[in-house]
Amino acid sequence: MMRDGEWRRSLGVLLLGGAVVWGVGCKKEQPQARAPVDAGAVAAAVADAGVPDAGPVAKVVKPLRFSDVVLKQDRIRLDVTYTLTNPGTAQGRGDACLALLDEKGVVVHVLRMGNIAVKGGTDDVFVDDLYVPESIWPQARTVLLYTAADRLCEHDDFGVTSEPLRLLPTGQPAPAGAPVPTRPKPLAAGELQLSDVRLAQPGGGTLYELTYTLKNVSARRINGSSCLQGYEGDADDFLLHASLGVFSLAPGAQETRTEEVDASDAKAWDRVSTLNLFVSEQLCFAADSKQSPSRLEFKKPDDVHSPDEDATGMDSSDAYEAEPAFPQEPPSSDEEDEESPESPGN
């Protein structure tokens, strides 16, 4: 099933792709099917047509080029429109990526814009809408667009498969001499402090909130994800886990956050006695809190428990007669007349 974001992305490719084909100016011959852009489907079609397929974008000999980039940012939403040109003869496919960089060129945050597929000797227009955490965007000094192999925006080298395009957050070209883009080093013990943790369950229902403070005591930028895992006693296996959110802290920076805890198994709260708040550089569910170089262990408050069975505040005195799921309309007067005997004199 196509998600709303994917449907909008495909529609944007259709509309903007048509505008490029019929607009004023010269351009290379376009493939007849402009959208939706699906690497798997395009690759299969190319293979059937006997056209060379480069496979993953990493195999493209001539790097892809970005152009006509438009950035539109509004709080936590970033809309990106761009053109990708493939100057080679083989199809290039993979992911389009966007990295936010600080004043030293260090990555603050990486976003996967979406899957791309561009036949050799052609170009295509893409439209993506992205979510950027509210605390992240103000730290960006430049924006870097690049391509990577599928799902490797976080790890691929910036300039291997495309010519990286460096821009200001406004979308204007970045000034010459901007610092070389670099990724932050892995987190080491003692670089990040966690403190002032407070877990609450307002109303006793399904809402859980965790407040905590992060402080970067190192001399470099630190990026990561805050995670929570709950244990029963001294057990090694956690009963519940939750991803709290991503962060990026400059050297010496401190941030107090309050985040909703969406636990993997809310029924486990009654069995949990110990919780670990920790920082991970991978997905929280795949991480081990006890191996994290930055971890804070704390006891679960006594007033935090599994959600009430009825968190709506209703009790037996509020019982009511439920209406049918599909209410039936009463028969019309005409139907009643048809079923009644004929009137005298007719």
Which pLDDT score is estimated for 319? 45
Tokens of 276: 């670990």
Report the sign of the C-alpha dihedral through residues 290, 294, 298, 304, in that order.
negative
pTM exceeds 0.85 for this model: no
pLDDT band (50, 70, 90) for residue 160: confident
- pLDDT, greater one: 83 or 56: 83
Percent of the chain residues topping a pLDDT of 70: 71
pLDDT band (50, 70, 90) for residue 311: low
Distance CA 144, CA 5 (A): 22
Cα–Cα–Cα angle for 209, 210, 216, nearest 5°? 150
Q: Which residues pair with 77 in a beta bridge?
A: 74, 131
Side-by-side strand order, sheet with 295-299: 240-249, 222-231, 274-280, 295-299
Q: Is the pLDDT of residue 316 over 50?
A: no
Which pLDDT score is estimated for 310? 59
Which pLDDT score is estimated for 45? 38
Tokens of 57: 């974008």
3-class secondary-structure state, position 107:
strand
Q: Tell me the pLDDT tens digit for each residue of 14-28.
A: 344 443 333 333 333
pLDDT band (50, 70, 90) for residue 5: very low
- The highest-confidence range among 59-73, 193-207, 280-294, by mean pLDDT, is 193-207
pLDDT band (50, 70, 90) for residue 40: very low
Distance CA 95, CA 113 (A): 7
Q: Is the pLDDT of residue 300 over 90?
A: yes
Which pLDDT score is estimated for 62? 83
Q: What is the largest CA-CA distance in the chain?
A: 104
Which pLDDT score is estimated for 118? 94
For residue 126, CA distances in Å to 45, 70, 182 come to 20, 11, 26
- pLDDT, greater one: 29 or 203: 203
264, 287 contact by CB (below 8 A):
no
Mean pLDDT of 26-34: 38
Q: Is the pLDDT of residue 325 over 70?
A: no
Mean pLDDT of 220-231: 95
Distance CA 342, CA 223 (A): 84
Rg (CA), the chain: 28
Percent of the chain residues topping a pLDDT of 90: 57
How far does Cα 63 stand from its chain's mean position? 26
Q: Is the pLDDT of residue 38 over 60?
A: no
pLDDT band (50, 70, 90) for residue 218: very high
Relative to beta strand 91-101, strand 53-56 is: parallel
Mean pLDDT of 218-234: 94
Which pLDDT score is estimated for 322? 45
Q: Is the pLDDT of residue 331 over 70?
A: no
Other CB atoms within a 10 A radius of the CB of residue 177 amount to: 5
Which pLDDT score is estimated for 20? 35
CA-based nearest residue to 180, from 97, 106, 96: 106
Q: Is the pLDDT of residue 302 over 80?
A: yes
- The highest-confidence range among 43-57, 205-219, 275-289, 331-345, by mean pLDDT, is 205-219
Q: Which residues pair with 276 in a beta bridge?
A: 229, 297
What mean pLDDT value characterizes the chain? Answer: 79
